[in-house]
Chains A and B, each alone.
Chain A
Amino acid sequence: MLRTIADLLRILNSGTEPGRISLAFCFAMVAGLTPLFSLHNLVVLLLVLLLRVNLSTFILGLGFFSGIAYLLDPLFHRVGLAVLTAGALEGLWTALYNMALLRLEKFNNSIVMGSLFFSLLIFAPLYLIANQMILRYRQHVLAWVQKSRIMQAFKASRLYRLYSTYSEFEGAK
């Protein structure tokens, strides 16, 4: 737990552009809330690796959202079922249902549809909110955190040195 908090602080305190952290967090939200082995998560993985988003944030976020996804499954089931059985969309779903690629995506499963619909719906708002929160954190809280004992101890650790090397490799700065 402490290590996770330290990881999070480390990312927030680094000079990484807020947009890269927020976008990674949003991608993690999509991959974490929807069933992991879905076709669309391959696209998410491609985007995460291709775009300069913060990989550490993505990994941390993926763990976080995968954890809460189980709690939200009943909600996703209801949302997904409502979307899939909406009369106005029947033509669209029927057309997609007969496409091999989308059948592989298993979009007709209530939880896949519900979780994907939900995560795409909140993708943009979450990105903007996360961006704002990181900026405000850096303006108001960062200096205090840098001086805190936990951060001092973390900076002195081998893990931090490793991270610094990795960050240089990642080219995130």
Chain B
Amino acid sequence: MKWVRWKGLIAFVAVLIIVTGVWFFVVDSAIEAVIEKTGTSMVGAKVELGGVDLSISPLGLSLTGLQVTNPDEPMTNAVQVDRIALSLEGARLLLRKVIVKEMTLEGVRLNTPRNKSGAIRRPSAATPAPQKKTADKKFALPSLEAPDAKEILKKEKLQSLDQITALQADLKTEKDQWRKRLADLPDKDKLAAYNKRIKKLKSAKKGGLKGILSGAKEISAIRKELRKDLDRIETARKELKKDLSSFRRRIDEVTKVPQSDIQRLKEKYALSPQGLTNVSRLVLGEKISTWADTALGWYERLRPVLERAKEQEKAHEVVKPVRGNGVNVRFKEHEPLPDFLIRITRVSMEMPAGSMKGRITNITPDQDILGVPLAYDFSGKNLKRLRSVKLDGVLDHVDQSGPKDTAHFEVKGYQIADFNMCDSPELPMVLKKATADFKADAALAGEALKANLWAGLRSVKISTGIKKDAGPLAKAMASSISDMNALNIKAAISGTLADYDIDLSSDLDRVLKDAVGKQAKAQAARFEKELKAAISEKVSGPLAELKASHGGLHAVGSELAGRLDLGSELLKGMEKKGPAGLKLPGILPKFQ
């Protein structure tokens, strides 16, 4: 027993007792610190707890005074919870599984004020909120001033000019090619040489039968050569004819392009009743876009709760531990369970309008192991200024390669009062009162986002509050809007989380279209006339040049025709009589 120190066993037990004692003293603070640190890092703003109490039997945790700062408004809590009670499955903890049987959230309140700013110094690691693509313009009354056509033409590219320039280049190339070809073809000098050879034969004094036969043979050879040359010229003339007609057709087409330029620019710049249909987006788009950004921003922040990175290493799944180094390799479990799971969460929300109750099931970052998606369901009835509200949906990340999240939101009988619709100084709009029903369905499949929102407002009273010196258009619009007693709004959001588009329409479009339709038509007609004149001025010169250039190609045709005529005359002469008065076989009809 020389090597054994029995006092050491007592020391070991003492150390264990001290460590356990200290653990009991500090565990609450440690849990509080971990929750605050992890929450702050996830949200990107301070997450604070009033207190933590860990109970051993039954195993549970109680958190009080949870405050989650809104990262966009550091003096406001996005969520404040009076008490959170968790009951844990103790046996699972030995397997390093945090399984919460039930979590109860009492006194949940949204958007409560803070005493101290909840902003954190360092930029958060949280994913930034997606950037809205649309509805980034402030509402402004459409101008009835016709835009300056000449100014527009300075910055706009005319398709007609481009096409004329391209066609001119083609014509030039074609002309060059034909010039080269003309040089290769038998010219007038060569044809005159045939004439000389014939005359020489005629003047040759070769008597007798032998002389006549020899003259006939030579004349036949000349005729064959001439015929071959004339064939080449004729082929070229036919090809030129084809080219000419092709260019003619292209020139005709180009002549029509200025009209399409006029139409395009008119649609772009002229105020048309159709162009006024985007007024809903201008008035309401910014607000809807901000709401969508906020919702998607929170979704991005909460995403790590739904799934975490998993990799494969030699057919074994490895996961990055929530804290610490290395990776955890997973092996087959007899009873597969996620590392963290809240089986059921009951929420009791306190809002100014009254209370709402909700339930969330299966919160875990390992849905693929559990095999069941997260589902949520919140509802409230007979609230203040609100008949009913319902929010439910599923966050399905069971198949992490293709997650599918859905949300359905429905509000009935919401009494709206003094809602600022548009703060444009030109046409401020305040919804003084209305009773509204809302419905929204959203689905996110992978990165593809699709959402439809519908709002039906009844007993509407909109105040426009325009200035006394406002223009006739503003007055007409204000009058139409004030007369509205119902307003239906539809919005469709599509795209991805990072880049989505909002398509918005409402009764405002129709009202505005009716109000300014006539003025818009007159303005469009004036603008079209000016645009026509300006484009014609710009295009007429190049178009005339193009036509002249086409005429230049005709000159090649004339040259070819001249050579053919000359050659044909020669053949005709040879046809009439041979050098010794013999009749030669006729070949002329082909070139006549």
Contacts and interface: CB of A to CB of B under 8 A. Distances in A.
Q: Do A and B come from one complex?
A: yes
Interface in B421-443: none
Contacts of B183: none
Given A50-B12, A77-B326, A171 B5 contact: yes
Contact of B333 (A49, A77, A97, A106): A97
Interface in B9-25: 9, 11-12, 15
Given A85-B313, A110-B326, A111-B326, A94 B2 contact: no
- Among B5, B6, B333, which residue has the most Cβ atoms of chain A within 10 A? B5
A105 to B, nearest CB: 10
Interface in B223-240: none
A109 to B, nearest CB: 5
A109 B313 CA distance: 13
A69 to B, nearest CB: 10
B4 A80 contact: no
Nearest to B10: A49
A75 B9 CA distance: 35
A94 B315 CA distance: 14
A21 interface: no
Contact of A97 (B315, B321, B325, B331): B331
A93 interface: yes
A81 interface: yes
B12 A49 contact: yes
Contacts of B6: 50
Contacts of B321: 109
Interface string B330-352: 11111000000000000000000
Contacts of A81: 313, 318, 327, 329
A86 to B, nearest CB: 8
A52 B4 contact: yes
A161 interface: no
Contact of B325 (A46, A73, A87, A104): A73
Interface string A99-138: 0110110101111101000000000000000000000000
B353 to A, nearest CB: 47
B5 A77 contact: no
18 contacts: A49-B5, A50-B5, A50-B6, A50-B12, A73-B326, A76-B326, A81-B327, A84-B329, A85-B315, A94-B331, A97-B331, A97-B332, A98-B331, A98-B334, A106-B328, A108-B330, A109-B326, A110-B329
A73 B2 CA distance: 37
A98 B94 CA distance: 11
A112 B329 contact: no
B589 interface: no
Nearest to A90: B331
Interface of B: 2-6, 8-9, 11-12, 15, 91, 94-96, 313-316, 318, 321, 324-334
Contact of A94 (B314, B318, B328, B332): B332
Contacts of A111: 324-326
A45 B12 contact: yes
A39 B393 CA distance: 42
Contact of B314 (A45, A76, A85): A85
Contact of B95 (A35, A93, A100): A100
A51 interface: yes
Contact of A104 (B4, B94, B316, B329): B94
A51 B9 CA distance: 9
Given A77-B325, A85-B316, A108-B330, A100 B94 contact: yes
- Among B8, B15, B324, B328, which residue has the most Cβ atoms of chain A within 10 A? B8
Contacts of B332: 94, 97
B366 to A, nearest CB: 15
A147 B329 CA distance: 55
B12 A51 contact: no
Contacts of A80: 326
Contacts of A101: 94
A103 B331 contact: no
B326 A103 contact: no
Contacts of B327: 77, 81, 109-110
A87 B316 CA distance: 10
Nearest to B95: A103
B8 A49 contact: yes
Contacts of A48: 8
Contacts of B314: 85, 87
B280 to A, nearest CB: 56
A103 B318 CA distance: 15
A31 to B, nearest CB: 13
A49 B11 contact: yes
Given A46-B9, A52-B4, A101-B94, 20 more contacts: A45-B12, A46-B12, A49-B5, A49-B12, A49-B15, A51-B4, A51-B5, A52-B2, A52-B5, A77-B326, A81-B318, A85-B313, A85-B315, A90-B331, A93-B331, A98-B334, A103-B94, A103-B95, A109-B326, A110-B318
A84 B2 contact: no
B325 A108 contact: no
B329 to A, nearest CB: 4
Contacts of B334: 98
A48 B11 CA distance: 11
Contacts of A50: 4-6, 8-9, 12
